[in-house]
Structure 1
């Protein structure tokens, strides 16, 4: 058997944190290696314990989850940690900022309990976790604010087909939906996504979505 996925849980609300820990520890392939109540403690513990995934709240004392995520998973770090943000829906702007800070995805606190272990496994495998309907609502709401008005997507090193795939990613489409829309196989979609990430030097689909909005590829 492979080693369990090591998880650090950070939430300043004791009842919420206890609930998260209970759900995670009930899974045979997941292991909580630490828990804390503020972002600075999360950074310190993560650097010492080296968890596979940090489950991170957004609003916390001392250091909030956004800044903690930037310190643990930000672009350019030599050994970034995967961060899964768990928050309430009315904090959607904060979630957007967390994704820009380097988070691999997010879950809503009112999601079914089974989604938490699934989200941790998804992020641990190196994939991004973004619910399509929330992606459209969240990023669409803030696209105009974060996208430079003069940037119309010129000089982006992608082929026309790759740009099509990127725009569909930014619209929150899954691989199967992209395949159906473009009438290509899901394996071909995966190949295009891999090429996009490589050419744009992006880590995952989350960063690709943010890139698309910031460069005016979607409205």
Structure 2
């Protein structure tokens, strides 16, 4: 439990699910300030520390709602709750920049509470079930997918090297020392990478690379499995750190 209570809001079209989730979270010592069917009904007093849960009927509808919530409350932490998952859907969710966490509804109460607390602290949270999918992924097919994706986006060899550093979560100064290039050069390459991949920031660029099988050590491999948080939630894919 954190020292200060965590404020939550719930967005979902099913009132029964909203009220049930509210009761569960209150029992886990969260403060549920609002439960609404549409983002426009949320209280305007939502601040940076608030975690907004979006109950998704399907992934497309859920992500659209998350994007609307992000536009209205850019400083809030947003978690999408979906009936199911796929590596592609999880990757797409984070690539939009609209979510901070992806939770599958099969999760039990205590891990759910742990996931929401991690999200409130600024961590990226993924479904624990994804570990099995990553472990069974085929290296050859993913490696081919990465090679085609990199070539299709016109990434240079140096940009690929820097992208691997971003997967490791390294700041610019560390990248500069590792590759023996100037800090200013690193910044130029990162800007080029973001432009070519059509992503907003280094975290999204790293997620793009990881989802396509780019290893951080120079070898191509299946999408790496993040460390398990104490609550059993997959958190912080080593890509959320920046300088």
Whether these two folds match at TM > 0.5 is yes
**Structure whose residues are more often helix by fraction:** 1
Deviation at 1:215, TM superposition (A): 7.1
Query: Contact 1:23–1:117 (CA<8 Å) still a contact in 2?
Result: no
Match of 2:171 among 195, 209, 214: 195
Partner of 2:55: 57
Q: Superposition pairs for residues 87-98 of structure 1, below 5 Å?
A: 87-89=82-84, 94-98=89-93
Partner of 2:130: 134
1:141-188 per-position Cα deviation (integer Å, ceiling 9, x unaligned): 9x85994651375342755xx82782xxxxxxxxxxxxxxxxxxxxxx
Query: Matches of 2:104 and 2:20 in 1, distance apart?
Result: 14
Q: 2:66 aligns with which of 69, 80, 83?
A: 69
Separation in 1, partners of 2:44, 2:161: 36
CA separation of 1:84/1:78 partners in 2, compared to 1, >3 Å: closer, same or farther? closer
Conserved 8 A contact 1:147-1:214:
no
88 and 203 in structure 1: CA distance in 2 versus 1, 3 angstrom threshold:
farther
- For 1:3 and 1:195, the matched residues in 2 are separated by 30
* Distance in 2, Cα, partners of 1:203 & 1:22: 37
CA contact (8 A) 2:86 2:130 kept: no
TM-score (norm 1): 0.61
Relative distance call for 1:3 and 1:194 in structure 2 (3 A) is: farther
In the other structure, the counterpart of 2:5 is: 4
Question: Is residue 46 of structure 2 the alignment partner of residue 45 of structure 1?
Answer: no
Matched, 1:35 2:35: yes
1:152 & 1:101 partners in 2: Cα distance? 21
Structure 2: 5+ residue stretches without partners = 176-186, 191-199, 215-219, 223-243
CA distance in 2, matches of 1:87, 1:52: 20
Change (3 A) 1:133 1:109: closer
Deviates more, 1:113-122 or 1:44-53: 44-53
Distance in 2 of aligned mates of 1:78 and 1:7: 13
The normalised TM-score by structure 2 is 0.56
Match of 1:25 in 2: 26
Q: Could you tell me how far 1:42 is from its partner in structure 2?
A: 2.1
Q: Tell me, in whole angstroms, the C-alpha distance in 2 between the residues paired with 1:79 and 1:14.
A: 25
Equivalenced residue count is 179
Q: CA RMSD in A?
A: 4.1
Compare CA radii of gyration and give the structure with the larger one.
Answer: 2
